[in-house]
Each structure stands twice: as structure tokens, then as C-alpha cells.
Chains A and B, each alone.
Chain A
Amino acid sequence: GENVEQHPSTLSVQEGDSAVIKCTYSDSASNYFPWYKQELGKGPQLIIDIRSNVGEKKDQRIAVTLNKTAKHFSLHITETQPEDSAVYFCAASINNSGGSNYKLTFGKGTLLTVNP
């Protein structure tokens, strides 16, 4: 089955700096890669996702890049703010419009701390 590795496990940055979290996946059939933010006591919140037919996607301060050949994808957060502090999870999934196997395989998470 799919295996997703995520690094680093913890990341501490100064407010205003950029943060990068990297993930690798094992199954070349995976074609959907979401990122979730989880704050203490809450459920994971979908913040951005990318499909395998694009290499990069951006949403304001957040961007995700995908390298299908190397089977890795990354989350980039620019101009970090204290409210960005949370645990971030990457995930991978094999999806097709006619199928049903949309389960997500998650990385172990990255605890991001943004220091004011």
C-alpha cells in the first residue's frame, strides 16, 4: 500500500520567515495530494491540495509543489504569522472519477511553531 514520509517532524521559524515541509510517497498511482492544518483540539482542516496533472498551486501565502518523477511534494508558507502555528499533515490518495478508493494516507505530521 501507499506510504507517505513527512519531514521535518518539528519546525520553528521567526515571524515573517518562510516555512517548507516536504513529503514523499511510494505509490506512483497516487494522483491527489492534500495538505491539512490541525490546531489543538480541532479536526484537520484542508488548506490546499494539488492533483498530479499540475506541478504547482498557490493560494495567497501558501503554495504546494509536486514532482511526480521524484514522488515528492512540498508545502511552502511565506510571511509566516503566529496563527500559522499548528500541526501540518500531508496526504496522498489514488482517485479516479469512476472509482471509490479515495482513502487518504497521511504523513506523520510537522509541528510548526512561528515565534513572534
Chain B
Amino acid sequence: DSGVTQTPKHLITATGQRVTLRCSPRSGDLSVYWYQQSLDQGLQFLIQYYNGEERAKGNILERFSAQQFPDLHSELNLSSLELGDSALYFCASSPGQALYEQYFGPGTRLTVT
């Protein structure tokens, strides 16, 4: 158990809908990362937050957004969902700054039908 929690574990929704994925980092970790894992693209970095501020963006679609709250939990919002958005979404956390080992949560499996 990495100490990173993600909810929900599974999510099934229809095209065009909007969903919110939630992540709670390890106690004391200030940095949260979101990754998408699919069979064709592998593990891809989406976005990073550090202590409430966006720090880095990867291949994140404009339909996707994220935020980190004062209690350091983070949410990833996916809107106007398409079939191709079906994937595993992982959150990882790290202490941040000079301590940068990333610990992954169990993931949320999103299925868009």
C-alpha cells in the first residue's frame, strides 16, 4: 500500500458526460501528479500540482482539468467524454522539492460507452 488513495475504483459513463476523479496524496506529500495509462499510449503524464499550484502540464486535453485543494487532495475533471478517453487514470504523490520519488495510487478505471 503506497498510502495514496483514489476514488472511485471503477467508473462507467456515456460519451459526452463529465466525471471527477479524486486523489488523496500520502501524508506530508505536497506534490500530486496525474497520469493516464492506455494500451496504445502507455503511461502518459497529464498534469502536476505542488502545494495547490499547477506546476507542469503534459499531454492533457483541453477537455480535462485538475485542481489541488488546501487539504492537498486533488481532483481530475474529464468532460465531453469520448470513447478514446477510456483508460486507467493514476495519481501519484511525492514530497516535492528535492525529494522526488513518486508513489502511485491504485488508479481509477474509466470506461466510456
Q: How far is the CA of A32 from the CA of B102 in the complex (A)?
A: 11
Interface residues on B, range: 20 to 34
Q: Are A46 and B102 in touch, CB under 8 angstroms? A: yes
* A103 and B2 contacting across the interface, CB-CB below 8 Å: no
Does any Cβ of B come within 8 Å of A106's Cβ?
A: yes
How many angstroms between the C-alpha atoms of A95 and B104 in the bound complex? 18
In the assembled complex, the CB of A3 is this many whole angstroms from the nearest CB of chain B, namely 12
B8 at the interface (CB under 8 A from A): no
**B56 at interface (Cβ–Cβ under 8 A)?**
yes
Residue pair B98, A100 in contact (C-beta under 8 Å): no
Of B4, B35, B94, the residue contacting A102 (CB under 8 A) is: B94
Cβ of A89 within 8 Å of any chain B Cβ, yes or no, is yes
Whether the Cβ atoms of B100 and A36 lie closer than 8 Å is: no
Does A105 count as interface, using CB distance less than 8 angstroms? yes
How many pairs, one residue from A and one from B, have CB atoms within 8 Å of each other in the complex?
62
The answer to whether A43 and B105 touch across the interface, beta carbons within 8 angstroms, is yes
Contact of A103 among B4, B58, B97 (CB under 8 A): B58
Binary contact track B85-100/A, C-beta < 8 Å → 1, others 0? 0000010001011101
**Proximity bits, A20-43, B CB within 8 Å = 1, else 0:** 000000000000101010000011
User: How far in angstroms is the closest Cβ of chain A from B35?
Assistant: 8
Q: Are B55 and A106 in contact, CB atoms less than 8 angstroms apart? A: no
Alpha-carbon distance A108/B42, docked complex (angstroms): 6
How many of chain A's residues touch chain B, expressed as a range? 20 to 34
From residue A113, how far is it (CB to closest CB) to chain B in Å? 18
Across the interface, do A97 and B56 meet the contact criterion of CB distance under 8 Å?
Answer: no
Question: Which residues of chain A are near B4, meaning CB under 8 Å?
Answer: 43
Q: How far is the CA of A102 from the CA of B97 in the complex (A)?
A: 9
Task: For B49, give the chain A residue with the smallest CB separation.
Answer: A100
Chain A nearest CB: distance from B92 CB in Å?
Answer: 8
Contact B56 A93, beta carbon cutoff 8 Å: no
Q: Do B48 and A45 touch across chains, with their CB atoms under 8 A apart?
A: no
Q: Which residues of B from 8 to 62 have beta carbons under 8 Å from A?
A: 31, 33, 35, 42-45, 48, 50, 55-56, 58
Q: What residue in chain B is nearest A102 (Cβ atoms)?
A: B100
Given A89-B43, A103-B48, A105-B45; A46-B101 close (CB under 8 Å): yes
